[in-house]
Amino acid sequence: MTVKLDYDYIEENLILQDLTCALCTDPLLEPVCAQQCGHTYCRACITASFRRKSECPTCRLVLTLDDFHPVYTRSFLNQLNQLLVKCKFCSEENIQRGNYEDHAKMCSKKPVSCAAADLNCPWTGRHNKLEEHMKTCPLMQVRPMIVELKEKMKRQTEQIQFLYTMLEKISANHQETCKEDYSGEAICDVCDESCSHNGSNNGLHYCPQTDICQKCLNKYRP
């Protein structure tokens, strides 16, 4: 499995084999290691490999994915972070791999997307054009409002859900001790149709003479 990276390694053939993954043959990314055999792989590579077979791909020892733990050895991680890479977008060379993310944030040629991409703004472009786009993007102008509305709606749905849960609970508790004697028929207070008021219809009933049929309950339930 080869991950698509935004950089190329410089002089990849000179990189120590200890720093590479036997599965993708590239320098390790998020290295994980099994204590039982000491073999180390990229997290993504070993995860993909275990989907096919539950063994260490090098020594064939039967293991589970949980046997692979992140490598924390500082000197080892430092060596990986210090590998030199070249940015695929601006061609700047000799960036330490560990610093590439910082470079990518500033890279003048890496395409970035609009902050309203979550509202389906299709714009992508160079970093230095982003600010200009965002100033005129119609979605950016309504974005704060939409985000606020979405949050409000989510909150209201939760509140309604809470009230329904309460009403159903109160109704169910009441029906256990209800002394009212309907002979099986009641009138729904919402739709005026007749319904049976006992607990079997999953509608709501409170005393005195308050009934909501199952159809109405389902219609308004969030």
- Which span (9-17, 67-75, 77-85, 190-198) binds Zn ion, by CB under 5 A? 190-198
Nearer to Zn ion, 93 or 151 (CB): 93
Q: Considering only 55-63, 67-75, 145-153, 156-164, which stretch makes contact with Zn ion by CB under 5 A?
A: 55-63
- Residue 216 in contact with Zn ion, rule: CB under 5 A: yes
* Count of residues interacting with Zn ion (CB under 5 A): 27
User: 36 to each of 44, 52, 167, how far by Cα in Å?
Assistant: 20, 20, 56
Bridge-partner residues for 69, per DSSP?
33
In one letter, which amino acid is 79?
Q
Instruction: Select 3 or 152, whichever has its Cβ closest to Zn ion.
Output: 3
Q: Tell me which long-range contacts 183-191 makes (C-beta under 8 A, separation of at least 24).
A: 186/211, 187/211, 188/212, 188/213, 188/215, 188/216, 190/216, 191/215, 191/216
- The residue ranges that bind Zn ion (CB under 5 A) are 21, 23-24, 37, 39, 42, 45, 56, 58-59, 87, 89-90, 107, 114, 116, 121, 123, 137, 178, 180, 188, 190-191, 207, 213, 216
